[in-house]
């Protein structure tokens, strides 16, 4: 199990919040990355976050690892601490899709550095 990130600096937490703000509006958000970012912002372990959300620790562990297919109800529980809800998003226009892909590629490049 991953260690708790309670020692994240304010700057690191703020950086994660900005990353979260970019991830959430995307129609094709990477759910494992989104959930991990939310959990890290709360500075909780996977077990602590699971308890906060009312799900089993295995659910959080599996979803962050990209395993499993969560129900809408489970996703709602995991997003609740930040006030997010699962919804239907209209298909992206071609320009929006290109912008989203460009943003994703830039983010991936920044993570590799």
- Give me the CATH topology for the region 10-112: 434 Repressor (Amino-terminal Domain) (1.10.260)
On whether the CB atoms of residues 52 and 44 are closer than 8 A, the answer is yes
Residues ≥6 apart with Cβ < 8 Å to 74 = 55, 59
Q: pTM, whole model, 2 decimals?
A: 0.62
Q: How far apart are CA 104 and CA 84, in angstroms?
A: 21
Q: Give me the residue spans of the domains in the chain.
A: 10-112
Helix ranges restricted to H, 1-81: 10-23, 31-42, 46-53, 57-64, 72-79
Total Cβ atoms within 10 A of residue 6: 9
Q: What is the tens place of the pLDDT at every residue in 8-59?
A: 888 888 888 888 777 766 655 688 988 998 899 899 999 999 999 999 999 9
pLDDT of residue 88: 66
pLDDT of residue 52: 95
pLDDT of residue 1: 44
Q: How far apart are CA 22 and CA 16, in angstroms?
A: 10
Indicate whether 104 pLDDT > 80: no
Q: How far apart are CA 85 and CA 44, in angstroms?
A: 21
């Amino acid at each position: 199990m991953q260690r708790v990130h309670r020692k994240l600096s304010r700057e690191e937490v703020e950086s994660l919040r900005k990353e979260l703000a970019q991830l959430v509006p995307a129609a094709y958000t990477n759910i494992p990355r989104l959930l991990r970012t939310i959990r890290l912002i709360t500075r909780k372990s996977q077990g602590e976050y699971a308890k906060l959300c009312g799900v089993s620790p295995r659910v959080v562990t599996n979803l962050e690892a990209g395993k499993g297919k969560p129900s809408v109800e489970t996703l709602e529980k995991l997003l609740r601490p930040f006030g997010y809800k699962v919804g239907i998003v209209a298909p992206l226009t071609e320009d929006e899709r290109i912008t989203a892909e460009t943003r994703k590629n830039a983010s991936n490049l920044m993570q590799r550095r």
